[in-house]
A and B are shown apart, each in its own frame.
Chain A
Amino acid sequence: MTAPAAVDIRDLRVRFGETTAVDEVDLEVGAGEVFGLLGPNGAGKTTTIRVLTTLLPATEGSARVFGVDVARHPMDVRRLLGFVPQQLSADAALTGRENVALFARLFDVPRRSRPAVVAEMLETMGLGDSADRLVSTYSGGMIRRLELAQALVNRPRLLVLDEPTIGLDPIARSSVWERIGKLREETGMTVLLTTHYMDEADALCDRIALMHRARLRALGTPDGLKADLGPDATLEDVFRHHTGDTLEAGGDMRHVRQTRRTATRLG
């Protein structure tokens, strides 16, 4: 028997009333891969992530994380996951250390090793010196790194990042990329991220899937997808080719508002 895939999504469909947010999606992410789910706002990326993180039931089809079914054993799946949502979700009224310690408690990190684990995660994310400051004094990039520390505190086998660098300035973005790169190097952890930045996908991901209007349109390595199109093709060209659309299209009011809110919070 071969080891189960990190993510195994079969024939997934999610409907909200009349709207189909995810339609006939099949997706397999191998253990140790950094996998990018690409597409414009409203393509169905976040909905797929929400099914995978046990936050939303699938209308049809199934999703498994390392062989564990998300619908049947949600608690077990949650122990395998680290999750960073799209918004900046650290609690600004607490210090960085208190934010990470809360998640250490919620993941049953034993009391004796808790302070050391929390300190180590903060250190790994470059927040050792600012750990005891209130998060309300952090920059956007620091909050993102703090959220990574929160997500990593239970040493997850699958790290799920929903738009990890949205609204961040270029320097903060590259620092987040760097941390993600280092993590996978050191731990061999599987990373599933969504993004609509093509350069991000190109730089970080082993394989990518293009999603558009609820469906998967293309799947492969960034280089492979580009080579299929021509010698000088960029990922954006690939995207346009598969969707007949530009990246800027799509995204409803709520998405735009949410992105703006995140950007505003970042100052």
Chain B
Amino acid sequence: MASTAIRHPAAWRRSGSRVLALCLVELQKLRHDRKELYTRAIQPALWLLIFGETFSRLHAIPTSVPYLDYLAPGILAQSVLFISIFYGIQIIWERDAGVLAKLMATPTPRFALVAGKAFAAGVRALLQGVVVLVLAAVLGVALTDNPLRLLAVAAVVILSAAFFSTLSIVLAGIVLSRERLMGIGQAITMPLFFASNALYPIALMPAWVRALSRVNPLSYEVDALRGLLLDRPAAVGTDLGVLVLAAGIGITVAASLLPRLTR
């Protein structure tokens, strides 16, 4: 009938503008409440200070650079992981508060809605990452000052946050409760973190953990961050490829589960 008479922007432009709108909201929220950025910086600071300083003196982990330097990109990745892996809790809150239903009743494709949420998590992780990197620099970690490399670091952080936050949304779509999502989030954070190269080189791991870390996107994130931040050899191209693919799959699966969340 008259449905074709309604004019609106092309689908891709619309999706892009939706993603930007949702990222902007995240920035606005952070501007209203900066405390969260600082309180969330406490844990990575303690990791760098207590774990980092201790293991630097123990020389228990053989690394090609000073251990604190080796550790800093791993802690940045950990911080991104912790922010993103509980992002689904916000989605469940939004579902209970009717926010999600209202968003889904706007002319926003589901895919764009999830991508918007994923990159909003990326925005938050990026600002958090700046705090962590400043801390690391203060502790004497020799970080790159090459703007192109820092730009690539930003891309790695955003893509990783996008992947882990959509993983969280997928879990939210399956368990549908904040409490259970908390439990599952905590349960998977540990193996994700320890079966990766965040704290120690993959070569030191037993074979089966090494196999796990090969399919763990966190390892690719850490590899890229370490290579870029410390100016060390790393397979940055492959790492970025893996992260783009992971984020793409995450967004697609989470978008398909979205209607389940509003049912």
B2 within 8 A of A: yes
Rounded to whole Å, the gap between the CB of A155 and the closest CB of chain B is 13
Rounded to whole Å, the gap between the CB of B76 and the closest CB of chain A is 25
A68 within 8 A of B: yes
Smallest CB gap from B109: residue in A: A75
Rounded to whole Å, the gap between the CB of A88 and the closest CB of chain B is 7
B17 within 8 A of A: yes
Query: Cα distance A4–B259 when bound, in Å?
Result: 29
A249 within 8 A of B: no
Number of A-B contacts (CB under 8 A): 94
> A94 with B104: in contact, given A56-B263, A76-B3, A108-B17 (CB under 8 Å)?
no
Contact B17 A105 (CB under 8 A): yes
Contact B18 A98 (CB under 8 A): no
Contact A85 B101 (CB under 8 A): yes
Contact B28 A86 (CB under 8 A): no
Cβ contacts B2-29/A at 8 Å (1 or 0 each): 1100101100001001101100110011
Query: Cα distance A261–B262 when bound, in Å?
Result: 18
B33 within 8 A of A: yes
In the bound complex, residues from chain B placing their C-beta under 8 Å from that of A150 are: 102
In the bound complex, residues from chain B placing their C-beta under 8 Å from that of A88 are: 97-98
Contact A103 B1 (CB under 8 A): no
Query: Cα distance A79–B109 when bound, in Å?
Result: 13
Query: Cα distance A91–B32 when bound, in Å?
Result: 12
Contact A78 B105 (CB under 8 A): yes
Query: Cα distance A20–B263 when bound, in Å?
Result: 14
In the bound complex, residues from chain A placing their C-beta under 8 Å from that of B259 are: 55
Rounded to whole Å, the gap between the CB of A139 and the closest CB of chain B is 17
Contact B107 A68 (CB under 8 A): no
Query: Cα distance A89–B100 when bound, in Å?
Result: 9
Query: Cα distance A88–B98 when bound, in Å?
Result: 7
B174 within 8 A of A: no
Rounded to whole Å, the gap between the CB of B104 and the closest CB of chain A is 6
Contact A87 B96 (CB under 8 A): yes
Query: Cα distance A146–B107 when bound, in Å?
Result: 20
Smallest CB gap from A261: residue in B: B96
Rounded to whole Å, the gap between the CB of B97 and the closest CB of chain A is 5
Cβ contacts A116-152/B at 8 Å (1 or 0 each): 0000000000000000001000000000000000100
Rounded to whole Å, the gap between the CB of A53 and the closest CB of chain B is 5
Query: Cα distance A93–B18 when bound, in Å?
Result: 19
Smallest CB gap from A82: residue in B: B105
> A68 with B98: in contact, given A78-B105, A93-B29 (CB under 8 Å)?
no
Question: Which 3 A-B pairs rank lowest in CB-CB distance, beginning with the nearest?
Answer: A85-B98, A87-B98, A89-B98
A–B complex contacts, Cβ < 8 Å, 28 sampled:
A55-B104, A55-B105, A73-B3, A76-B6, A78-B106, A79-B8, A83-B101, A83-B105, A87-B96, A87-B97, A89-B99, A89-B101, A91-B25, A91-B99, A93-B33, A94-B25, A94-B28, A94-B29, A94-B32, A105-B17, A105-B20, A106-B21, A106-B103, A106-B106, A106-B107, A106-B108, A108-B9, A108-B107
B interface residue numbers (CB < 8 A to A): 1-3, 6, 8-9, 14, 17-18, 20-21, 24-25, 28-29, 32-33, 96-99, 101-109, 259, 262-263
